Structure 1
Amino acid sequence: MPSLRTSEPSILIGLQYRGHLSLGEHRARLGFAAYHWSIVITPATGARSEFHRFDVTDGIVLDDAGTDVNPDRDWIFRRQTSSSLLEITRYLGAVRVGKICAGRMVEGEEEELMRFFETVPLPRRESAGEGEGEEEEGPKENCVTWARSALKALDAAAWCRLAEQPLDLDALMEFALRHGDTRIGDLVTTPDVVDYARGENKRGGAVGALVGYVKRLRGSS
């Protein structure tokens, strides 16, 4: 597994397991939405051990008192912090896609980072795709499309360096999807964090990722 502690904060695509929705016929039907997607910023070497995760959800969101603050199931933006990736609920794996330039993540600039991700448009409720609490076909805009938009915004930002220039966003998303599928099939020997493999057979497409997933299922049965 690549070291998460480098001289500059790393940018990761985070993937979370969605229970039965990440498996079998649900995985085949949902495609990218079979996992929950987020953007994670890791701390640099010598910095505070704090991981910042940014995502959107239309599910239950509890405050400190245990009250659901999203009763209407609107899409809302979230920032969460943790001391490790393993503290993320249902954490499955991550793909490192780039770094934040030196000097950007100093004391107080976490809030600036949050404001940056807050500018990424929220999914539209009326557009229909697989929401956090839904099991039927639904919104085409969801956490996946939000993460994709966030990566596009990062690609345009002068203060970060992504692993590939110009960024092939389709290939990157497909690479992350395949990593999620590989982790589902083998949590023991597959590292949870991998670097984006530029130019290394990235272009299999979502269909190729699905075919590979089905083959692994058959091989394990």
Structure 2
Amino acid sequence: MALYPIEELPLSDAPIDREPARGSPPTDVYQLFLAVYHRGELSIGEYRQRLGYSSYHWAILVYDVKHDRHYAYDVTDGSSPDPVMRRDLNPDYQWTYRVKTNVHPESCDSLLIRMAIGEVSDGIGPETIKLLLQSVQLPIKGAFPPQNCVSWIRAVLYKLRFHGYARNLHDIEMTFDRALAYADIRLSDPDNSISVLDHLVHHNQINPGSRTVRSFTEQSAHTKRHHVSILESSIRQLERSTRQHVWKTRNIKYKTL
């Protein structure tokens, strides 16, 4: 299977964009979210510091505004038990693409944040997103640097932006950093932190009618300053860790030449 740099993903494997006909009636609107889930003890303490982005699970959620319904897209290398045959359908723990329909974010205890990254309409919906994300190469076991749900989601974000489904997602790496920092905040202070936000921090809310959206204005000034301080500290720490990882990687490459 051919490997492609993230910035040069192939175009032929994606659904063809369909332009809306002039004068056509409005179609259903779907909101796209980057979702971050905690992984139990792997998301805290020493594991959190060592694993970085991989200390959380990452996925894409599509929200059907009209029907108040969510779809989830991710990759997993976990077991896949068959309740009928009573056997594991993924005994070798290979990476597989997974699609879930009619999920309920509000009742998912492991879901920390949903960050809005785009919006689609005019005939582009969950099925289009499903096919597009299915075309993104699955992580490869034993690859270096390691490939996992984080590397897959990164490629997904670049592809969504390229096809115009997340056209305002200007800085994908910054989006990752902010999502990670907000996940840390959410995990450490769930009662006073937001769970649904825009990829631009200064935006207050996504859908005013949603029960899960909490604006920054609903929080006290003290809580805001506290969260901003944690966010800035987390981003600075992440940037330092990234620079150290890049330096170590380069050093390893030089030694192997």
Q: Secondary structure at the match of 1:14?
A: strand
Partner of 2:182: 179
Partner of 1:98: 118
Structure 2 gaps, min length 5: 1-27, 204-227, 240-257
- Kindly tell me: are residues 25 and 155 of structure 1, through their superposed partners in 2, closer, same or farther at Cα, counting changes over 3 Å? same
Partner of 1:131: none
Structure 1 gaps, min length 5: 1-6, 129-138, 212-221
Structure 2 length normalisation: TM-score?
0.65
- Structure with greater proportional helix content: 2
Q: Which amino acid aligns with 1:194?
A: L
Does structure 2 conserve the Cα–Cα contact (< 8 Å) formed by 1:40 and 1:54? yes
Bigger Rg over Cα: 2
Q: Secondary structure at the match of 1:188?
A: helix
Tell me by how many angstroms 1:101 deviates: 3.2
Deviation digits for residues 172-211 of structure 1 (CA, Å, limit 9, x no counterpart): 110111111110111112121111116899x969762559
Q: Which amino acid aligns with 2:69?
A: E
CA-based RMSD of the aligned residues comes to: 2.6
Q: Which amino acid aligns with 2:143?
A: S
- 1:151 correspondence with 2:179: no
Does structure 1 conserve the Cα–Cα contact (< 8 Å) formed by 2:72 and 2:103? no
Q: Which amino acid aligns with 1:26?
A: Y
Structure 1 length normalisation: TM-score?
0.74
Provide the aligned length of Structure 1 versus Structure 2: 185
What CA distance in whole angstroms lies between the structure 1 residues aligned with 2:56 and 2:73?
15
Structure with larger RCO (C-alpha < 8 A, sep 6+): 1
- 1:14 correspondence with 2:35: yes
- Kindly tell me: are residues 67 and 86 of structure 1, through their superposed partners in 2, closer, same or farther at Cα, counting changes over 3 Å? farther
Deviation digits for residues 47-74 of structure 1 (CA, Å, limit 9, x no counterpart): 3x32111111111123353532111100
Does structure 2 conserve the Cα–Cα contact (< 8 Å) formed by 1:12 and 1:39? yes
Partner of 1:208: 236
